[in-house]
Amino acid sequence: MNSTSKIAAAELKGASAEELKNILGRARAKKGMFEGDMVEGELEIGQVSSSINNILPAAAIVAEIWNEFNQEKNRLCQL
């Protein structure tokens, strides 16, 4: 049984926050994000979703990032 299933089953049984913490263990984000372990690790996604104000094509997003990079690079070069 994977961790997601274990947590879902525990929640259905009314597990306490402490019991859920014990199931999750420690360093799960590190295992998922830095070690690529998708069985014992976890990924944290969605935290910035509330900051999205509009949906743009990928090319527009890349162009915006590139322009911001160049502006900041130019600013730093002038220091």
Domain ranges of the chain: 3-44+55-77
Q: What percent of the chain has pLDDT over 90?
A: 42
Distance CA 31, CA 68 (A): 32
> pLDDT per residue over 10-46, tens digit each?
999 999 988 888 877 778 888 888 888 888 887 777 7
**42: closest CA among 51, 53, 30?**
30
Query: C-alpha distances in angstroms, 50 versus 15, 24, 46, 60, 63?
Result: 29, 26, 8, 20, 22
- Amino acid at position 6, single letter: K
pLDDT beyond 90 at 47: no
Whole-number average pLDDT of the chain: 87
Q: How confident is the model at residue 57 (pLDDT cuts 50, 70, 90)?
A: very high
